[in-house]
Amino acid sequence: MTDDDKPADLFLQLFIRHEPELRAFVRASLPGSSDVDDVMQEVSLVAWKKFSTLTDVAIFPRWACLITRFEILKFRRKCARNRLVLDDATIELLVAEGAEEMPRRKQQLAVLDECMNKLPEERRKLVLAAYSRETTIKNLAQQLGKTEHSLYQLLARIRHQLLLCLQRTLAAQLRD
């Protein structure tokens, strides 16, 4: 590996490690989830271009969060013609709140992963398939030989099971 490869590798490691929290931050700051991927792509490009200016990798999460905040605001200005867009002051409040909640969201995502791993393999695969972009409930129900309604019922029971696991685990962590 050459010296030129090291910054790229380090950037990728850091970005991939913190991408779920940044994505949650973006999702919480935008009215439509369909725009999250576009903003995340811009965040990754800007962060990569500015990575050489980062002097301490320990502050990467805060640094990336700041870039994310500006990309959210830039995206929102582009969409300002839409009447349903919140004003900048409200967005600033949401962004600040989102930044404060990032450690909690990271913890919740880690616990959700634990709870998903506790599910039987068949149910885990079903949940992952049901919420992937490539799958519709109608197609998934047909593949499984179920009605859409019964599949929705099953997914609701699994989500409830995951919620209970998540609540129990987080409560136990607070007690410890």
Q: pLDDT by residue for the chain (176 residues), tens digit each?
A: 334 458 888 999 999 999 998 988 888 887 766 788 889 999 999 999 999 999 898 999 989 989 999 999 888 887 766 556 566 777 777 777 777 777 888 888 889 999 999 999 999 999 988 888 788 889 899 999 999 999 999 999 999 999 999 999 999 988 87
According to the model, what pLDDT value does residue 82 have? 59
**pLDDT at position 29:** 82
State residue 1's pLDDT score.
Answer: 34
In this predicted structure, what is the pLDDT of residue 80?
66
pLDDT at 134: 80
Residue that the structure tokens 């640094």 belong to: 63
Residue 83's pLDDT is: 58
Determine if the pTM surpasses 0.85: no
